[in-house]
């Protein structure tokens, strides 16, 4: 927003017309602070009049309190803030100095003449419509819902019979996700304007036009019933061709919108359920990805590994984007099948610790290979596939909030916050 060459209260009026400044004290404070920073950027000459730029924030907050005090119905007239009270409350706020009196008086008089109010949004208008309906249990005023159009149609009970239009006059309110069918209330019986008849969701709705000797501008709506394969069929007739075309165009756009949003929601849910959470970080100059899923690897192994075999290389290979998470297996004897199921765990080690751990990892790998081969029938004895136990199913995606990450300088730098605040 551009607040250039505007008084502080007028700029605040423009800001509050588009953004509702209400709610918890912390929320209001953040909004006013954002406004103050923007106002200082647009009016640097005004900021130079004060000893401290924070005076703009204090004055803007005082204007909000003045507006609330002056127009709140819960405050009695004899207890409302007067001009001298407003001036006295702002004494010494500019680093011990007072704000110029003419500036404070001008703000008070302008607020007294006109209240700071937010403009009406789509939810406000829907709330007004909801209050004029009697007998409706569905809540209309939702943040995502807006009113598209309102048409006067006549409901047709039988398309093959002529009926009086006045007996079935309906006020049809089309929202972006809902169709509400109402009828007018007699003014003598109720103070409300409309009586609720039925509401139909737009998701899955189909419509077509019809014309016969009784109805020239007919509209048929077909909607699925929730929890059933049956469908609900509604017939309407418009007064004229133009009204029918306008209603059909708005209805077509609204159905397409709600269908597209539902497809996006389904795709997002599928990605959320099927996707594997991957945490990436850098260890030893190489990119490592942690996939918490069951990995099944099958390879031929034997007892031919020697104790004096060189330790496997655990350093990341520069030719690959991701290094192997486990060392390669030792030379194997043909004819022996080993099935290994393992859940990958990645531990970040520095270079000195990695040098100390290499002999231990090599020895543990040799012992594990020997014990696995012995359990499967000894060296050189093939194991039949019929004796192999079935593999367990893959576990669900990892979604635990307390995954352990070993301390490191890089991780500490990521976790530390700079403390900077950007509210512009």
Q: What CATH number does residue 13 fall under?
A: 1.10.1000.11
Does 243 share its domain with 217? yes
Does 282 share its domain with 266? no
Beta carbons within 8 Å of 141's beta carbon, 6+ residues apart: 123, 126, 127, 130
Place of tokens 């103070």: 191
Does 90 share its domain with 44? yes
CB 276 within 8 A of CB 290: no
Beta carbons within 8 Å of 161's beta carbon, 6+ residues apart: 214
The pLDDT of residue 189: 61
In a domain, 1, yes or no: no
Q: What is the CA radius of gyration of the chain?
A: 36
CB 40 within 8 A of CB 47: yes
In a domain, 208, yes or no: yes
Residue 130, SS3 per DSSP? helix
In a domain, 21, yes or no: yes
Alpha carbons 68 and 192: distance in angstroms, whole number: 31
Alpha carbons 237 and 163: distance in angstroms, whole number: 11
Does 256 share its domain with 291? no
Does 283 share its domain with 265? no
Does 44 share its domain with 158? no
H helix or E strand, kind and range, residue 17: helix 8-18
Q: Show the domain range for 224.
A: 122-274
Give how far the C-alpha of residue 75 lies from the chain's centroid of Cα atoms, to the nearest Å: 38
Which of 147, 151, 174, 166 minimizes the C-alpha distance to 238? 151
Does 130 share its domain with 267? yes
How many folded domains does the chain comprise?
A: 3
What would the two tokens of residue 303 be?
A: 């007892």
Does 153 share its domain with 267? yes
The residue from 86, 113, 140 where one domain ends is 113
The pLDDT of residue 143: 85
Does 127 share its domain with 99? no
The residue from 219, 244, 274 where one domain ends is 274
In a domain, 419, yes or no: no
Query: What one-character-per-residue DSSP string does 159-174 give?
Result: TTS---GGGGEEEEEE
In a domain, 396, yes or no: yes
Does 155 share its domain with 245? yes
The residue from 218, 246, 274 where one domain ends is 274
Query: Whole-prediction pTM value?
Result: 0.48
Does 260 share its domain with 126? yes
What would the two tokens of residue 217 be?
A: 């501008």
Alpha carbons 311 and 346: distance in angstroms, whole number: 19
Does 100 share its domain with 179? no
Q: What is the pLDDT along the chain (424 residues), one digit of tens a residue?
A: 899 999 999 999 999 888 888 778 888 899 999 999 999 999 999 889 899 989 999 999 999 999 999 999 899 988 999 999 999 999 999 999 999 999 999 999 999 999 998 877 778 788 888 988 988 888 888 888 999 999 999 999 999 988 886 778 999 999 999 999 999 887 766 667 899 999 999 999 999 999 999 999 999 999 998 878 889 999 999 989 999 999 999 999 999 999 999 999 999 999 888 874 444 444 444 443 333 333 333 333 344 444 444 444 444 444 444 444 444 444 444 443 434 344 444 454 555 665 666 666 566 555 555 554 444 444 444 444 444 455 545 444 444 444 444 444 444 443 444 444 333 3
């Amino acid at each position: 927003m551009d607040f250039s060459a505007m008084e502080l209260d007028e700029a605040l009026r423009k800001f509050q017309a588009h953004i509702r400044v209400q709610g918890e004290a912390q929320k209001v404070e953040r909004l006013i602070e954002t406004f103050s920073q923007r106002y200082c950027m647009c009016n640097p000459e005004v900021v130079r009049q004060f000893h401290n730029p924070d005076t703009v924030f204090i004055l803007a907050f005082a204007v909000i309190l003045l507006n609330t005090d002056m127009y709140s119905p819960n405050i009695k007239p004899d207890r409302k803030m007067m001009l001298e009270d407003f001036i006295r409350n702002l004494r010494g706020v500019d680093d011990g100095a007072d704000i110029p009196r003419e500036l404070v008086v001008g703000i008070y008089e302008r607020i007294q003449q006109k209240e700071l109010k937010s403009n009406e949004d789509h939810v406000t208008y829907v709330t007004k419509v909801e209050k004029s309906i009697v007998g409706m249990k569905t809540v209309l005023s939702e943040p995502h819902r807006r009113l598209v159009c309102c048409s006067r149609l006549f409901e047709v009970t039988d398309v093959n019979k002529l009926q009086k239009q006045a007996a079935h006059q309906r006020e049809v309110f089309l929202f972006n996700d809902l169709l509400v069918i109402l009828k007018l209330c007699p003014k003598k019986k109720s103070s409300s304007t409309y009586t609720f008849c039925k509401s139909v969701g737009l998701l899955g709705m189909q419509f077509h036009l019809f014309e016969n000797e009784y109805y020239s501008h007919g509209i048929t709506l077909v909607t699925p019933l929730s929890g059933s394969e049956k469908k609900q069929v509604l017939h309407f007739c418009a007064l004229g061709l133009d009204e029918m075309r306008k209603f059909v165009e708005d209805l077509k756009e609204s159905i397409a919108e709600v269908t597209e949003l539902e497809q996006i929601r389904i795709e997002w849910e599928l990605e959320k359920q099927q996707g594997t959470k991957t945490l990436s970080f850098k260890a030893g100059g190489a990119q490592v990805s942690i996939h918490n899923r069951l990995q099944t690897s099958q390879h031929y192994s034997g007892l031919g590994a020697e104790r004096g075999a060189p330790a496997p290389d655990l350093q990341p290979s520069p030719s690959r984007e991701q290094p192997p998470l486990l060392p390669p297996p030792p030379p194997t004897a043909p004819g022996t099948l080993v099935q290994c199921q393992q859940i990958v765990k990645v531990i970040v080690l520095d270079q000195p610790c990695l040098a100390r751990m290499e002999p231990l990892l090599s020895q543990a790998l040799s012992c594990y290979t020997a014990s696995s081969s012995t359990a499967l029938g000894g060296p050189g004895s093939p194991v039949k596939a019929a004796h192999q136990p079935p593999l367990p199913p893959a576990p669900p995606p990892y979604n635990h909030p307390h995954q352990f990450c070993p301390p490191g300088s890089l991780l500490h730098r990521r976790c530390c916050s700079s403390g900077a605040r950007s509210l512009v």
